[in-house]
Amino acid sequence: MSYKNFIRNLNLYLDGKLSKEESLKIKNHLKKCAQCSDVYLKLLSAKTSLGVLEKVKAGKNFESKVLLKIASANNAHSFSHGLLLAAKTSILSAALLFAVISAFNFFSTPKINRNIDNIAHMDYYVLENAGSYNKITNTFIN
């Protein structure tokens, strides 16, 4: 028998819910094993302490009130979970939109630069063929 099963059976032993054969096995094991005997004494002490406490009878609607509170707590959790999910979705959507815009700008930037370079060469060509440019008067000289 594993330790976990022994402890489970030990609780049943304390409650008197084991068969005579199982109770005898537990009793014999407790005589041989100091560790399990120590656990048994602690459980027995806890059971004795709890037995001294005054038993209070629950009100008429106690169970239904508890179940109602549990249900409302679950609904509140569901609502807050929904808000959290909506916030995560919004943030993810914004990040995705930012990534798409960034990618578009990244891939379209070289075309814009080429167009600007072409315009600059055209201006130079026009200036070169138009004659000299006077920087003081901002006019062309033929």
Say whether pLDDT at 31 is over 70: yes
In this prediction, residue 134 carries a pLDDT of 59
Would you say residue 61 lies in a domain?
no
Please tell me whether residues 142 and 92 are part of one structural domain.
yes
Say whether pLDDT at 137 is over 70: no
Which residue did the predictor score with more confidence, 138 or 28?
Answer: 28
Expressed in angstroms, the distance from the first to the final Cα of the chain is 111
For residue 61 the two structure tokens come to 């609607």
Phi–psi pair at 132, nearest 5 degrees:
-90, 155
**pLDDT tens per residue across span 66-111:** 888 888 877 766 777 777 888 888 898 888 888 888 877 766 655 5
> Is the pTM above the cut of 0.75?
no
CA–chain centroid gap for 96, Å, is 21
Would you say residue 43 lies in a domain?
yes
Would you say residue 137 lies in a domain?
yes
**pLDDT tens per residue across span 112-130:** 555 555 555 555 555 455 5
Please tell me whether residues 45 and 94 are part of one structural domain.
no
Please tell me whether residues 92 and 142 are part of one structural domain.
yes
Q: How many domains does the chain have?
A: 2
What span, in angstroms and rounded, lies between the C-alpha atoms of 26 and 18? 10
What span, in angstroms and rounded, lies between the C-alpha atoms of 89 and 112? 34
In this prediction, residue 87 carries a pLDDT of 84
Domain enclosing residue 124, as ranges: 88-142
Cα dihedral across residues 74, 80, 82, 84: positive or negative: negative
In this prediction, residue 131 carries a pLDDT of 57
Which residue did the predictor score with more confidence, 119 or 58?
Answer: 58
Would you say residue 70 lies in a domain?
no
Would you say residue 120 lies in a domain?
yes
For residue 94 the two structure tokens come to 């914004």
In this prediction, residue 109 carries a pLDDT of 54
Please tell me whether residues 1 and 45 are part of one structural domain.
yes
Question: Do 32 and 2 meet the contact criterion of CB atoms below 8 Å apart?
Answer: no
Query: How far is the CA of 104 from the CAs of 34, 69, 118, in angstroms?
Result: 74, 52, 22
Say whether pLDDT at 48 is over 60: yes
Greatest Cα pair distance in the chain: 124
